[in-house]
Amino acid sequence: MPRTLLIAAGTLALMAAAPEHAQAQYYKGKTITMIVNYPAGGPTDVEGRIVAQHLPAHIPGNPTIVVRNVGGAGGLIGSNQLGEAAPNGETIGFFTLAMNDELLGNAAMRTRYSDFTLIAASSARWSSICARTPRPASMSRPT
């Protein structure tokens, strides 16, 4: 439950720039796709599905969240798919990050993790929730 609260707090902080009524109208009746960058049945998938079950109650408009498992290449295929998604807030990722891909300059990595907006992270594992959205002006880019 503390992880759910952390995720909810991060999501709400990300959406704080718009009035609540506008946020509720935006997400009402919409579906958010949560890309999990590992196959179904593993620990990243299980954690992502638990988050997806509870997250809608913490987003104005109570959208539906659908988990889409995109495994392969050590999670890189799913990460690339989030990077190529429209930055409209309707696609998020629940990832186990493979930082070695970015640190070593893996040519197959089309979107760097530093280009994602971090919404929340789990301290239990190397999992994080990221969005392909424009970063609010109040969020500074890590240096």
Task: Assess contact for 110 and 80: CB atoms under 8 A.
Answer: yes
What's the CATH number for 2-131?
3.40.190.150
**Measured between alpha carbons, how far is residue 74 from residues 1, 10, 77 in Å?**
28, 26, 8
Cα 77 from Cα 84, distance rounded (Å):
11
Domain borders along the chain are 2-131
Lowest mean pLDDT among 20-24, 35-39, 50-54: 20-24
- Whole-number Å distance between alpha carbons of 103 and 105: 6
Q: Is the pTM of this model over 0.75?
A: no
Model pLDDT for residues 67-92, shown as the tens digit of each residue: 999 999 989 999 999 999 998 889 99
Q: How far is CA 135 from the centre of its chain?
A: 13
- What mean pLDDT is predicted for residues 22-41? 89
